[in-house]
Amino acid sequence: MSTLSIAAADRGTWRAQIRKYNAIARINIQNSLAYVWDAFGQGVFITLFIFVFAQLWRATFKAQGATVIGGLTLNQTLWYFVWAELIQLSKILVSNAIEHEVKDGSLAYTLGRPYHYLLYHFFAGLGNVAIRMVFVLTFGAAVALIEVGPLKTFRLAALPGVALITALAFVLDYCIAAAIGLLAFFVEDTSAFRLIYHKINFVLGGLLLPVDFL
């Protein structure tokens, strides 16, 4: 059997699909390396954010005369914000991409390619945010370590659960953002829907206050 025959037989199988989307993510990681300073800027942003929040919550705990608020210590609260901002700053901005493709007509070209449209954007987005996640986590964790030290309640056994929850958060946010982007088929501008989702996420998603405090 020739190499072409084997490739043809393999085309469409789950192994081929994995290789295809893995290649999409890998190419976008390589592309993001050309704009590494953008990821560095996100790292600087979370540095300032975590520093300000450290001062704010230290003053709050001191004013309350408490070591625990809402079941969280100052140490846990600051590390909570590090992880929350990691998810927020590294999420896949797919709604803008879909809206632009619908408006400029490039969607027709994209749909003609041999991959699932939404899966393509998901794995391309993962490749784009991979470098950003490294910078955000590195800078944010560094500030948290300086301000409150390591997370004292961290257990290595909890790491798989944290990774799973984080992955599910990325997927859920992507699905909602993709749904907002697809509204461009029915409305000309989806920015209002993005704004509403952002505000709901900001308040109820734990970005303004830890969910434990609500």
Tens of pLDDT, residues 25-57: 888 888 888 878 888 888 898 999 999 999 999
99 and 190 in contact (C-beta within 8 Å)? yes
Q: Rounded to the nearest 5°, which phi and psi values hold at 163?
A: -65, -40
Question: From CA 174, how far away is CA 186, in angstroms rounded?
Answer: 20
The count of residues in the chain is 214
Question: From CA 214, how far away is CA 211, in angstroms rounded?
Answer: 5
Q: Domain ranges in the chain?
A: 35-213
Q: What is the pLDDT at residue 4?
A: 39
**Residue 201, C-beta contacts closer than 8 angstroms, at least 6 positions apart:** 173, 207
Give the pLDDT band (50/70/90) at residue 71. confident
Q: Say how many CA atoms lie within 13 Å of 130 toward its Cβ.
A: 18
47 and 141 in contact (C-beta within 8 Å)? no
Question: From CA 72, how far away is CA 129, in angstroms rounded?
Answer: 30
DSSP 132-176: HHHHHHHHHHHHHHHHH-S-TT--GGGHHHHHHHHHHHHHHHHHH
Q: Say how many CA atoms lie within 13 Å of 198 toward its Cβ.
A: 11
- Model pLDDT for residues 93-150, shown as the tens digit of each residue: 899 889 988 888 888 887 878 888 899 899 988 888 888 888 999 999 999 999 999 9
Mean pLDDT of all residues in 78-91: 89
Look up residue 169 and give its two tokens: 């958060």
Q: What is the pLDDT at residue 176?
A: 94
Report the chain's terminal Cα–Cα distance, integer Å: 64
DSSP-H helix ranges across the chain: 3-10, 14-33, 36-64, 74-90, 94-104, 107-111, 117-148, 159-182, 191-204
Question: From CA 94, how far away is CA 182, in angstroms rounded?
Answer: 10
* Model confidence at 161: pLDDT above 50: yes
Give the pLDDT band (50/70/90) at residue 214. low
Look up residue 198 and give its two tokens: 């952002």
